[in-house]
Amino acid sequence: MAEHLPMAQFAANADRALADLGQRRNLRAATDTFAARRSAVLAGNPDWEAWRTTARAVKDHVLAHLDHYLVEFERQATARGTVVHWAADADAAVRILLDLARQHARGVAVKAKSMTTEEVRLNEAFAAAGIDAVETDLGEWLQQLADEVPSHIVVPAIHKNRDDVAKLCHERLGTPRDADPATLTAVARERLRAQFAAAGLGISGANFAIAATGSLLLLENEGNIRLTTSVPDVHVALVGIEKLLPRVQDLDVFLRLLPRSGTGQALTTYQSLLTGPKQHPEAEGPRELHVVLLDNGRARMLGAEVTRQALACIRCGACLNACPVYQQVGGHAYGSVYPGPIGAVVTPQLVPLTRAAALPFASTLCGACREVCPLRIDIPGLLLHLRAEVREGHPGVPPAHSPRGKRWAMQLAAFGLRHPRLYRTALRWARLLQRVASPLLRRLPPLRSWAQGRAAPELAPRDFRSLWQQRSRR
Ligand code: SF4
């Protein structure tokens, strides 16, 4: 069964990830590709900032009136034949989904990629109950094959390259060791078609839920969501309460923002709008449609103005792709379902802060996440807020520990910055030392663990101050 790493041990997890140079190369290549595609699709787009403003205003409005929109969604969905359930926490959600699976799944449930089902650990509960929960998104299917949890909220197997995938399929399925991606995709398709035919229950999340019509919108590129929602007789969607939008028209701006931010696409290949179960004479759709509205800590986030904005997240993944920490350590190091910058914000609010106290510190606060976020969520600000909660000894949270060496280094740096002459002298010596003694210093115990997997940037031959003075003298 796929296990999460302990999130309290982020530093140890990160050290292990940094030692895996192959994974770092894969992460860097993939995140750079997504970032480049995003830049290309946004280049010269005069409407981008206006779309961001509109989307944030819609989200702020919904979150301020969430009680109203949730009740409206339930009323409209019920009127169109959908059965709406409410789950206060992960256990309640799992109970509802297990109950439906026992009634309808016939031993097999097919799943479309859904972070909310990961959040409630649905696969573990189904396995314990003897029900096969089969992932049908290609990346998620590979992660299930590898017995790993997703390492990215949009691209679950982002840390694997084609050779890793060929090796995995060879070991688990007996495909040729050098099989190409097209062959492996055909193998996956054949196996998944059999599971779609056998399954009595389809399970998904939703990108958005529309209050005015009781509809769900699901975005994808592979077609597996459409099969998951239309082949099995019964479908259930597990939806976080923050996914509400007031009207179908509001989708307009979100359908522009989400794919551009996440994968650099102008539009995802498929958009499925589910409004109630199949009606005569419709050919597609489930005979029975259930929606489980999940709270699991979201109402608590809604209650505090500072944390409420994190509920505006549309899970596009852009902040993960832009984050220099995520790019190096990958998603598994965070030990949580939601990795990266938004994961470091959301996770400490979904689980007790005692278990996630390390995550708000897993950031350089460079601001790249805020820059790319289509909803302009102030992730660095939220991380600082959570850091303060940890430092101030939030009830039940042990005070954060910073290693003695790091504290000394910070005190030394602060002293040097307060004394410019000393700072300049130290810089001259540091330049000399870097040339002569750097290889030796990297092997000494206080620096050895830091130096593993990191390269210290070369000091410039001349500092800015002396260049400026020389320029002013001209
Ligand atoms: S915080 Fe912003 S950038 Fe990150 S996943 Fe959410 S919407 Fe996307």
Residue 425 CB coordination number (10 Å): 12
Give backbone dihedrals phi and psi of 108, rounded to 5 degrees, phi first: -135, 130
Pair of tokens at residue 58: 């819609």
Pair of tokens at residue 322: 């832009």
Distance 317 CA to ligand 1 centre (A): 6
Give Cα 109 to chain centroid, integer Å: 24
311 lines ligand 1 (CB under 6 A): no
- Contact between 226 and 280 (Cβ < 8 Å): no
Residue 54 CB coordination number (10 Å): 17
- Contact between 195 and 111 (Cβ < 8 Å): no
Angle at 393 between CA 390 and CA 394, to 5 degrees: 75
* Residue 3, pLDDT score: 55
Domain 21-54+62-298 -> CATH class: alpha beta
Digits of tens for pLDDT over the chain (474 positions)?
Answer: 555 666 668 888 998 999 999 999 999 999 999 999 999 999 989 999 999 999 999 999 999 999 999 999 999 999 999 999 999 999 999 999 999 999 999 999 999 989 999 999 999 999 999 999 999 999 999 999 999 999 999 999 999 999 999 999 999 999 999 999 999 999 999 999 999 999 999 999 999 999 999 999 999 999 999 999 999 999 999 999 999 999 999 999 999 999 999 999 999 999 999 999 998 888 888 999 999 999 999 999 999 888 899 999 999 999 999 999 999 999 999 999 999 999 999 999 888 888 888 999 999 999 999 999 999 999 999 999 999 988 887 555 555 556 677 788 889 989 999 998 998 888 888 888 777 766 776 777 666 766 666 667 788 888 888 888 888 887
240 lines ligand 1 (CB under 6 A): no
59 lines ligand 1 (CB under 6 A): no
Global pTM value: 0.87
38 lines ligand 1 (CB under 6 A): no
* Residue 143, pLDDT score: 96
Q: Cα separation of 146 and 292, whole Å? A: 29
Distance 255 CA to ligand 1 centre (A): 14
Distance 279 CA to ligand 1 centre (A): 36
* Residue 7, pLDDT score: 63
Evaluate the CA torsion angle 460, 464, 466, 467 in order and state its sign: positive
* Residue 352, pLDDT score: 83
* Residue 453, pLDDT score: 64
Pair of tokens at residue 124: 């573990």
Residues of the chain with CATH 3.40.50.10420: 21-54+62-298
* Residue 450, pLDDT score: 66
Q: Cα separation of 134 and 149, whole Å? A: 13
From atom 7 of ligand 1, which residue's Cα is the shortest distance away? 313
